[in-house]
Amino acid sequence: MVQETYLRAYKAEQHVAFAILTNGYRPSAIEGLTGDLLSAMAAVELTQPEPVSVKALDQLAVVTGTYESFDTVITVKQQGKQLMTNIVYKIDPLPPLDLELRHMQDADLGPLTFAPYNSEGRRVPSIVFLENNAQGIPQYVFNGGRQNRRTV
């Protein structure tokens, strides 16, 4: 599959608009392009809150499991005192991605929102676990590009 990204931008006095259309990407690529365009076109700098959590790891372990969509498999595991995720892209020719999940205490984002960090310590777009069942176990994860259903 050939990956293509098309950018269209428009700036007129106080109004700014742009569109990013792509047929293959990592969410962090779109976030990077968006940040660069907003900075260049509107002098807006995107910042993300630092993850702060008061929840114990055993309270957050409900997110462990496997989540899948037609093009992505996301596996969340507890490793020592950390939650880790592995993202495998089934269609796009991207290498698997391993991330450390740091819980974010933010009422606006939802109780199971995490700031993922790659092995170089760089933060990538947030991961949100959604729609808890009667036992409080999330049935979906949203990773910035797709919503994946829990399979295990």
| Tens of each residue's pLDDT in the chain, 152 residues | 344 444 444 445 556 676 766 665 566 566 666 667 767 776 766 666 677 777 889 899 999 999 999 989 999 999 999 999 999 988 877 889 999 999 987 767 678 999 999 999 888 888 999 999 999 999 999 987 778 999 98
**Domain encompassing residue 38:** 5-42
Residue 97 within any structural domain of the chain: yes
Clarify whether residues 36 and 65 are in a common domain. Answer: no
Q: How many domains in the chain?
A: 2
Angle, alpha carbons 107-110-65 (nearest 5°)? 145
Written as six digits, the tokens of 48 are: 């993300």
| Domain harbouring 98, CATH code | 2.40.128
d(CA 48, CA 136): 27
What pLDDT, on the 0 to 100 scale, is given for residue 6? 46
Within 27-119, residue ranges assigned H as helices are: 27-42, 57-60
Query: Is residue 149 within 8 Å of 67, Cβ to Cβ?
Result: yes
Would residue 48 count as lying in a domain?
no
Q: Quick one: 14 and 71 in the same domain?
A: no
* pLDDT, position 5: 45
Pair (9, 70) in one structural domain: no
Residues 21 and 62 in one domain: no
Measured distance CA(30)–CA(85) in Å, rounded: 20
Please count the other Cβ atoms lying within 10 Å of the Cβ belonging to residue 44: 11
Nearest to 137 by CA among 60, 54, 51, 56: 60
In a shared domain, residues 146 and 105: yes
Q: Do 24 and 63 fall within a single domain?
A: no
Q: Do residue 67 and residue 114 come from a single domain?
A: yes
> Is residue 13 situated within a structural domain?
yes
Distance CA 28, CA 85 (A): 15
What residue type is assigned to position 34 of the chain? T
* Interacting residues of 91 by C-beta distance below 8 A, sequence separation 6+: 1, 24, 70, 71
In a domain, 49, yes or no: no
